[in-house]
Amino acid sequence: MPRGSRGPVAEQASQEIAHWSCEAYLFTSHRSPKYLLRLLLKYPASGSQVRRAKLSKSLYTPRIPRSAVKSQASLSMFTYINPAVRERLIRDGKLLRINNEGHEVDMAEAPAPGLHVNILGPIPLPLARGHAQPTVRWYASVRSTELSEVEQLAGTLREQGGQHLFSHLASSMAVNSVLVIGKPEKSENPLVRVHSNCLTGDVFGSRRCECGPQLESALDRIAKDPEGGYLVYMSGHEGRGIGLWAKAATYLLQDAGENTYQANRSLGLPDDSRDFSDAAVLLKYFVHGRRLRLLTNNPKKVEDLTALGVPQIERVKHVFGVDDHNLQYLKAKRDWGHKLGEEDISSSE
Ligand SMILES: [Zn+2]
């Protein structure tokens, strides 16, 4: 729509979107999917503005303020998947909710205070990995509060004939994954990787970091391990929690001479803002208090998970993918506290 043809309401909404973009750049505010819905309802046909709003929103990990979330019971009539299918999945034990202690709770009841996570699965996932073709079991997980909010908004959108906008709502959820590899249920000491998502490394194969090789190697190590294990993939951890947009900015700052942590600080962001509470809940549920071996060079990850109630973690060194492109990055990580020896960060090239 040409700018001149907008009415006052449209102009106001446009300013709200611009305001929101600005706040997201400055990391000063949080906007829930409910806010997105208000914009969508004002601007049902304005795809570019919605995309622009989404882009800004992706600068941070969305978390819904507890005060904005109504009780679970009042939301149960809404769902953005067919309610009959949802009921069947619950009956079949394929959709369940766990509490902060990793214990299953009744989905029909309003959850008590504290973090709750919905889990969907297992879904068989046949992997093509060189000569090996293991079939793993995939579980998708999302915070109950985030899912409830999206389901409620989806109900409102459906009433107004706005189903075509569902994807904008669903994309606001941070959906994590657990891959169950081998038969770790029988193990007293499964092998575990808690991997923070990295689009450039995991998907594009960028060598600016070693995330891609670390993910690949973790899958291979767990698949080969006689104990089997779990890979927890944290979808909201891009750029150590600052989001993809800000991470792109840090890359530009790094190319101007700053290291990975200095670049975060230059943007006014923490060195590491990853929240491992969802990972902790998932490990409590899947590992049930058994010992576990965690593939990481980062002692802080062990400390965080331990502080969140995951017991008996033994750190297992996991150095892969070191080359000339990421040597400085890895040295910065070592200086920051990662357990990397001189022999670990010498390029093979
Ligand atoms: Zn990476």
- CA of 258 from ligand 1 middle (Å) equals 17
Of 331, 332, 325, 329, nearest to 348 by C-alpha is 325
CA dist., res. 298 & res. 181, Å (int): 23
φ and ψ at residue 160, rounded to 5 degrees: -100, 15
DSSP notation for 143-205: EHHHHHHHHHHHHHHHHTT-GGGHHHHHTTS--EEEEEES-GGG-SS-EEEEEE--IIIIIS-
User: Which residues, at least 6 apart from 109, have a Cβ–Cβ distance to it below 8 Å?
Assistant: 72, 73
CA dist., res. 263 & res. 59, Å (int): 15
- CA of 2 from ligand 1 middle (Å) equals 41
| Number of other CB atoms surrounding residue 14 within 10 Å | 17
Q: What is the dihedral of CA 200, 205, 211, 213, to 10 degrees?
A: 170
pLDDT at 301 over 60: yes
- CA of 116 from ligand 1 middle (Å) equals 28
DSSP tag of 111: P
Q: Is 236 helix (H, G, I), strand (E, B) or coil?
A: coil
pLDDT digits (tens, 9 = 90+) for 118-131: 999 999 999 988 77
pLDDT digits (tens, 9 = 90+) for 175-197: 999 999 999 999 999 999 999 99
pLDDT digits (tens, 9 = 90+) for 30-53: 445 566 566 555 554 444 344 444
CA dist., res. 154 & res. 79, Å (int): 7
CA dist., res. 303 & res. 301, Å (int): 5
Q: Which amino acid is at 231?
A: L
Would you state the pLDDT for residue 170?
76
CA dist., res. 62 & res. 35, Å (int): 12
Higher pLDDT, 81 or 46: 81
- CA of 213 from ligand 1 middle (Å) equals 10
User: Which residues, at least 6 apart from 128, have a Cβ–Cβ distance to it below 8 Å?
Assistant: none
Residue 246: which pLDDT band, with cuts at 50, 70 and 90? very high
Global confidence as pTM: 0.76
Work out the mean pLDDT of the chain and round it to a whole number. Answer: 80
CA dist., res. 190 & res. 179, Å (int): 13
Structure tokens at 204: 């594009």
Work out the average pLDDT over 156-183.
84
CA dist., res. 292 & res. 289, Å (int): 9
pLDDT digits (tens, 9 = 90+) for 61-71: 334 344 433 43
Domains of the chain (ranges, CATH numbers): 3-60 (no CATH), 73-336 (3.40.50.10990)
Alpha helix positions (H), 160-276: 166-170, 211-224, 244-255, 260-266
pLDDT digits (tens, 9 = 90+) for 107-119: 888 778 899 999 9
* Residues labelled catalytic: 272, 274
pLDDT digits (tens, 9 = 90+) for 252-269: 999 999 999 999 999 999
Would you state the pLDDT for residue 56?
40
> Could you give the percent of the chain with pLDDT greater than 70?
76
Structure tokens at 340: 């990397």
User: Which residues, at least 6 apart from 19, have a Cβ–Cβ distance to it below 8 Å?
Assistant: none
> What's the N-to-C CA distance of the chain in angstroms?
54
CA dist., res. 294 & res. 290, Å (int): 12
Work out the average pLDDT over 330-340.
90
Helix (H) or strand (E) holding 304: helix 299-307
Higher pLDDT, 50 or 298: 298
Would you state the pLDDT for residue 343?
86
- CA of 201 from ligand 1 middle (Å) equals 5
CA dist., res. 53 & res. 274, Å (int): 23
Note whether 231 and 195 are within 8 A (CB): yes
Note whether 46 and 122 are within 8 A (CB): no
Of 174, 199, 152, nearest to 63 by C-alpha is 174
Higher pLDDT, 39 or 218: 218
- CA of 214 from ligand 1 middle (Å) equals 9
Would you state the pLDDT for residue 284?
97
Would you state the pLDDT for residue 49?
42
> Could you give the percent of the chain with pLDDT greater than 90?
55
- CA of 292 from ligand 1 middle (Å) equals 24
